[in-house]
């Protein structure tokens, strides 16, 4: 069996456990939950997260089928398709919160920092598209002082990238601006720590000032 065939087998077997409800107690409860969400959904929150395999949104927030409307894309960037997805969910389901969820050690952010330091031919125009979305947030951080503390630089870059996406959601759509102005929608940012599993919500002051490395509230 090739590696690809083995991967496909694991996906198929996992779905069979999920669909049958025979995997474990959680699988059974999901069967019940699934039945109650066939005809409609009311996700209470919308999350734009990174595609990183270590940050599965429903798992890190301990939520179930129908709870979250999730958009995942490398680097949790906001391009027109993400914006459209958020508009759809906010307008259609009345979800009350949009959270942009970045994470420590984000490969898309690291890759963008690397690209800014050593401009090289991008591996593909599609990957370049993502890096170009992240660049405006992290480029101002590349100072000689910060280069000396790589850990702090990466941490600041992850936060700045989340702040940028939050700002783009807040000011890039008439639909969202209307919902925010009427108090029906809150757009905020958070950073998930791969080591602790905790999500730090970013302070308003930080979001308003992309590039700042002020601390956040827990």
- Rounded distance between C-alpha atoms, residue 104 and residue 161, angstroms: 12
Q: How far is CA 209 from CA 8, 32, 109, 177, in A?
A: 44, 45, 18, 19
- Rounded distance between C-alpha atoms, residue 82 and residue 66, angstroms: 19
Residue closer to Zn ion, measured from CB, 157 or 187: 157
CB 118 to Zn ion: min, Å: 20
- Rounded distance between C-alpha atoms, residue 60 and residue 24, angstroms: 19
**φ, ψ at 37 (rounded to 5°):** -115, 15
Residue closer to Zn ion, measured from CB, 77 or 89: 77
**φ, ψ at 93 (rounded to 5°):** -110, -10
CB 52 to Zn ion: min, Å: 4
CB 50 to Zn ion: min, Å: 3
Residue closer to Zn ion, measured from CB, 108 or 180: 108
Residue closer to Zn ion, measured from CB, 74 or 187: 74
- Rounded distance between C-alpha atoms, residue 164 and residue 218, angstroms: 20
| Tokens read off for 15 | 């779905």
Interface with Zn ion by CB under 5 A: which residues? 50, 52, 106
CB 18 to Zn ion: min, Å: 25
CB 209 to Zn ion: min, Å: 22
- Rounded distance between C-alpha atoms, residue 157 and residue 88, angstroms: 29
Residue closer to Zn ion, measured from CB, 65 or 106: 106
Report the SS3 class of residue 183.
coil
């Amino acid at each position: 069996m090739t590696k690809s065939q083995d991967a496909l087998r694991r996906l198929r077997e996992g779905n069979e456990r999920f669909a049958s409800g025979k995997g474990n107690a959680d699988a059974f409860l999901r069967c019940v939950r699934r039945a109650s969400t066939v005809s409609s959904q009311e996700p209470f929150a919308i999350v734009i997260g990174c595609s990183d395999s270590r940050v599965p949104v429903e798992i890190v927030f301990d939520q179930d089928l129908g709870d979250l409307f999730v958009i995942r894309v490398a680097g949790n960037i906001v391009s027109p398709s993400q914006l459209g997805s958020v508009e759809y969910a906010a307008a259609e389901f009345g979800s009350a919160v949009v959270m942009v969820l970045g994470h420590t050690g984000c490969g898309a952010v690291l890759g963008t920092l690397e690209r800014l330091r050593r401009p090289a031919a991008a591996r593909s125009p599609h990957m370049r598209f993502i890096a170009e979305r992240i660049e405006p947030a992290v480029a101002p951080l590349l100072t000689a002082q910060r280069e000396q503390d790589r850990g702090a630089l990466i941490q600041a870059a992850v936060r700045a990238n989340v702040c940028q996406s939050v700002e783009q959601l807040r000011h890039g759509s008439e639909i969202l601006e209307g919902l925010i102005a009427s108090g029906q929608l809150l757009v905020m940012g958070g950073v998930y720590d791969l080591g602790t599993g905790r999500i730090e919500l970013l302070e308003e002051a930080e979001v308003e000032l992309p590039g700042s490395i002020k601390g956040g509230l827990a």
